[in-house]
Structure 1
Amino acid sequence: MAVSGTKEFDIKAAPAEVMAALVAVDRLGEWSSSHKKVEIETTHPDGRPDRVRMTVSVVGITDEQVVDYSFEGDEKLSWTLVSSTQQRQQDGSYVLSPNADGGTHVVFELTVDPTIPLPGFIVKKAQKHALETASKGLTKFVEGL
């Protein structure tokens, strides 16, 4: 069964700076402890990542996944799962908008559907970890650049 979550937060950096950090998917491991290995397989004509292969480990479950990234300027980054050893579906996005103090308001959304039945508490723990990493890890990474 697919589970979805949303997290909204603010980062003290301009949207272009936040997007630059998100585009640097090869640096995901610097702010996401779940990402063990990230390899960009193909890029879009503008040099942004297109197809990315990664090894991810959450709550003791390791997944080898391939995702396709798409972009809408510096406002939105989204991805869709192409293949995975542990999931049927994964869709995620970051939507960025300027806020009143010159920073960025971020809306992170993630939907995952594991292939194996997992107890609800494990799915919730993994979801919470992903949402917290997206907010706290990304914020610390961007503000530290």
Structure 2
Amino acid sequence: MAVSSTRSFEIKATPEQVMAAIAAVDRLPEWSSTHKSVVVETTHPDGRPHRVRMTVSIIGLTDEQIVDYAWNGDESMSWTLVESSQQAQQDGTYTLTASDSGTQVEFGLTIDPKIPLPGFLVRRAEKTAMDTAAKGLTKFVEENFR
């Protein structure tokens, strides 16, 4: 059962600063407690990550994932799951818009576990991901990229 969510939040930094933090994929474990290890395997010509291997642990499940990242300047970034031990699908996006007080961030995520899980567990994993994106990324940007 695939589930999708979006969350919007504000970060007091420029879109360029926020995107620089997002592009620091290898530093995900610093602000996302679910990410245990991250290795950038290939990069795009501009140096931003393309294919990334990571170990993620959420709701008691550990997942080895390979994801491909796509970038649209400092406006948006998306990723698509290529391979996973626990998920059939995962797609995510960050869309950034300049605002009066910094940057409006819209985070979207779709996940579909390979094994049937109770709906409340899938929703808990989804909520954890949304909270981590909003709180963890905000703190990471404000402490490291302003």
Q: Does TM, scored on the shorter chain, surpass 0.5?
A: yes
Partners of 2:77 and 2:18 in 1: how far apart? Answer: 11
- The equivalent residue for 2:89 is 89
Unaligned runs of 5+ in 2: none
The Cα of 1:100 is off from its aligned counterpart by: 1.4
* 2:43 corresponds to 1:43: yes
The Cα of 1:37 is off from its aligned counterpart by: 0.4
Residues paired across the two proteins, number = 144
- The equivalent residue for 1:6 is 6
The amino acid of 1:23's aligned partner reads A
What is the Cα-based RMSD across aligned positions, in Å? 0.4
Unaligned runs of 5+ in 1: none
Q: TM-score, normalised by structure 1?
A: 0.98
- The equivalent residue for 2:111 is 112
The amino acid of 2:66's aligned partner reads V
Give runs of aligned pairs for residues 73-84 of structure 1, distance below 5 A.
73-84=73-84
Deviations 1:67-107 (A, max 9, x none): 00000010001000000000000000000010012x00000
Partners of 1:45 and 1:27 in 2: how far apart? Answer: 20
* 2:17 corresponds to 1:17: yes
Give the 3-state SS of the residue equivalent to 2:139 in structure 1: helix
Partners of 1:121 and 1:43 in 2: how far apart? Answer: 36
* 2:100 corresponds to 1:100: yes
